[in-house]
Amino acid sequence: MSPIIRKMKKNDIPNIVFNDRRILGQSLGEETLESELKQNIFSQFFVMEDKATKEFLGHVGLWIDRPLASVLNLYVVPEYQHQGLGKQLMEFVFTYLKRLNISTLTLEVRGSNIVAKAMYQQYGFDEVAIRKQYYSDGEDAVLMLKNIDLRK
Ligand X SMILES: CC(C)(COP(=O)(O)OP(=O)(O)OC[C@H]1O[C@@H](n2cnc3c(N)ncnc32)[C@H](O)[C@@H]1OP(=O)(O)O)[C@@H](O)C(=O)NCCC(=O)NCCS
- Taking CB under 6 A as the rule, which mask of x and - marks residues 73-112 in contact with ligand X? -xxx----xxxxxxx-------------------x-x---
Per residue, what are the HEC states of the chain?
A: CCEEEEECCHHHHHHHHHHHHHHHCCCCCHHHHHHHHHHCCCEEEEEEEECCCCCEEEEEEEEEECCEEEEEEEEECHHHCCCCHHHHHHHHHHHHHHHCCCCEEEEEEECCCHHHHHHHHHCCCEEEEEECCCCCCCCCEEEEEEECCCCC
Pick one of 32, 101, 115, 128: the residue that binds ligand X (CB under 6 A). 115
* Candidate list 30, 108, 127, 139, residue with the active-site label: 108
Nearest-CB residue for ligand X? 86
Nearest distance from residue 71's CB to ligand X, in Å? 7
Catalytic: 123?
Answer: no
Catalytic: 75?
Answer: no
Q: Which is nearer to ligand X, 32 or 83 (CB)?
A: 83
Q: Which residues are catalytic?
A: 108, 120
